[in-house]
Amino acid sequence: MFICSSGPRLGARPTPLRDPGAHNFNPGAGWSSLPEQLPDPFPYRAELDLPVPQRRNCAPTPTKKEHRGPSRLKPPLGFPGPIPAPCSRVWKDWSVCAPALCVCVLRRWISGGRCRCSLRLDGKTAVVTGANGGIGKETSREFAKRGARVIMACRDIIRGEAAAQEIRSSTGNGDVEVKHLDLSSLLSVRSFCEEVLRTEESLHLLVNNAGVMMCPKWLTEDGFEMQIAVNHLGHFLLTNQLLPLLRSSAPSRIINVSSIAHKGGEVDVDDLFFSRRSYSPLKSYRQSKLANVLFTRELSRRERGSGVSCFCLHPGVIRTELGRHVESSFPLLALLLSFPALLFMKTPHEGSQTTVYCAVTPGLESKSGKYFSDCAEKETAAEGRDDETALKLWNESCRLVGLDQD
């Protein structure tokens, strides 16, 4: 007996009804060959109360349109015609890399010259003032790396010892010593010189590096204006006190760290401390740096034939603590310059290169009394070649620090 039923047998797999209008996807025709209404693969959805699926958009995900036409980039000035399509990506990359490349080239130019001389200083003794930081510390490190015995003359003994320990560790030279020196005090300068003359058998290099810059009008314990006292008078007394040891150790060299700020400076021998003139931190700083140049010139003349050579130099614009008084006086300017300073100022290591160059380069004896910058001889300002003012400054400096005028 047969039982007829319009539905399928229980448990049987349903056969989906085929829409007569449906047809297979034709690759040649593309997506447009698909029917508007696809057959439901599960025809018993309504009986089981299942939701009807919505048709999905079967169109392919649009991809980035390939560039096939001429480049839409505007060509740079002077470029002949539009930029070709294959060059567009190269030009985009170059537009990103070019500024970075320019900054690198500019930074290398700002870093200045490098001392290429590899002369060793074994058996030599060097004194560096202001050696607890900045270019003084880097100069001491370079001397120690070359095997010299280094005496770091520092006002702050604690910072000086920390710097000396760092130099000993980085160079492997344990012959690095720290001695106290306060260049604003003539008593401290004399005490330092007495100790050096008593304990040292020779002295081959004296680097007068320490200084202050554009500080307010302060007077030292000797009654001197601070900038001319530290930058010139203290080093003037120090150098003259150590000259006998330098002469006996010849050939020897004295390096005075000056500045390009000596240009436009004026040394008023009758009013070095701005007693009658209105005080300006910049004028005082320029005067002290011009005094360094004139002191070097006169000292070179006096030491001609003694085996002692003298040089002065401009180290460059360096990001050190020397400008702390400028930052305190002009906080807005310091804020504006804080980031550019990282790019457009020399590092202490770069700033020490000219000092090292003057100390170790062979054959510089014939250029004693000259002015250097970026490891090359440069011309000083006209006021730095005034022999008459240099002699007057020498005599006045001797009177102020208590030395006999030779």
At residue 1, the pLDDT reads 43
Nearest Cα neighbor of 348 from 111, 189, 164 is 111
Residues 67 and 192: their CA atoms lie apart, in Å, by 77
At residue 318, the pLDDT reads 79
Nearest Cα neighbor of 217 from 292, 272, 284 is 284
CATH of 188-315+352-401, picked from 3.40.190.10, 3.40.50.720, 3.40.50.1970, 3.90.1150.10, is 3.40.50.720
CA distances to 209, 253, 300, 302 from 306, in Å: 23, 11, 10, 9
Residues 179 and 195: their CA atoms lie apart, in Å, by 9
Structure tokens at 383: 């006021």
At residue 383, the pLDDT reads 95
| Three-state secondary structure call for residue 129 | strand
Residues 17 and 15: their CA atoms lie apart, in Å, by 6
Nearest Cα neighbor of 383 from 393, 373, 396, 375 is 393
Residues 95 and 89: their CA atoms lie apart, in Å, by 10
pTM, to two decimals: 0.73
Task: Return averaged pLDDT per consecutive 10 residues of the chain, 406 residues in all.
Answer: 47 50 49 54 58 56 52 55 56 62 62 86 98 96 98 97 97 98 98 98 98 93 97 98 98 97 95 96 95 98 97 85 56 59 78 96 96 95 96 98 88
At residue 181, the pLDDT reads 98
Residues 385 and 379: their CA atoms lie apart, in Å, by 9
**Burial level of 34, CB count in 10 A (0-12/13-18/19+)?**
middle
Where exactly does CATH 3.40.50.720 map onto the chain?
120-180, 188-315+352-401
Q: Which CATH superfamily is domain 120-180 in?
A: NAD(P)-binding Rossmann-like Domain (3.40.50.720)
H helix and E strand count, the chain: 13, 8
Report the catalytic residues. Answer: 285
Structure tokens at 55: 């048709």
152: enclosing H helix or E strand? strand 149-154
At residue 5, the pLDDT reads 46
